[in-house]
Amino acid sequence: MAANINPTVRRRRLGAELRRLRQASGLKSTEVAERLMISQPKISHLENGRRAISPRDVRDLCAVYGVSDQKAVDALIEMARESGTRGWWHAYGDIPQSVYIGLETDAASVHAYEPLVVPDLLQTPAYAHAVIEESIPRLTARQAAARLKVRLRRQHRIYDPAGPLRFRAVLDESVLRRAVGSPDIMREQLEHLNALGAEPNVTVQVLPFTGGAHPGLSGRFSLMRFADGPEAAVVHLERFTSDLYLEKPSDVRPYDVMYTHLQARALDPVSSRHFITDAVKWHVGAANRP
């Protein structure tokens, strides 16, 4: 598999194309299921990218949809072969959020709202280690090490010379105040946050406590956009045992509006850097207090 092939995103794009072909043919998913003698939920899972699809399934579906262009059929079959491969992160064992990592790897931009901790892609190794160790009960040293390696490798997207990820983050003030690890770890992390915020592809804004109630009170979320176009977007809602992914434009749009409101309520990037610098002094002062 080529290094730039992402099986998770390939499966998602293939499913979207199969849905488009089905709709163009005028067939309902139940009718397709009857013709192929398979279950209707299988059709839904294939179109949503939640299930691997075999080249044979693609060939059979194209036949039902009346796709006569053999080159188009062959291209879809190749996507099916690629979608059956495993992403780089699987080499580290059973890593949670593998779907999210796959989407993040192929995203053109990520807009994240974080009310609790520094976003994964902006964490220092020491801060990331402390978050992993302290937030996941009964985690073995081996599991913690694997998660840390995966998290640090994900950060390569920020510096990718071929196409760095455009990352925007709105952070609640509690992210800066929460003492994760030692004061030295917090100082290093916040200084790193300011350094990254100066990069042309990274924007960091702080939403102070004085901002009062705001749309982000419902919790953290990430809005990922892809090179396919403005409608190619996924909202990720992280949960402890299972995550939620929203792809319908009607589901994505409210989060897009919510993020716009959060950016408007937050400090601008320059003021945010000053605010983060003050938070560094606050942690240093806390370390010196008895």
Contact present, 108 and 225 (Cβ < 8 Å): yes
Pairing label, strands 166-172, 221-225? unpaired
CA distance 108 to 156: 14
- The two tokens of residue 12 are 């998602």
Q: Which tens digits make up the pLDDT trace of 100-114?
A: 888 888 889 999 999
Predicted local distance difference test score (pLDDT) of residue 93: 65
Q: The pTM is what?
A: 0.77
Which run of H or E residues covers position 32? helix 29-36
Predicted local distance difference test score (pLDDT) of residue 84: 63
CA max distance for the chain: 77
Q: Which tens digits make up the pLDDT trace of 37-47?
A: 888 888 888 88
CA distance 239 to 129: 20
Question: Taking phi first (over 0 means left), then psi (-120 to 50 degrees means alpha), and beta for anything else, what does residue 219 get?
Answer: left
For the chain, give the mean pLDDT: 87
Q: Which tens digits make up the pLDDT trace of 111-157?
A: 999 999 999 999 999 999 999 999 888 889 998 999 999 999 999 99
What is the average pLDDT across 175-191? 95
Domains of the chain: 7-85 (1.10.260.40), 91-288 (3.30.870)
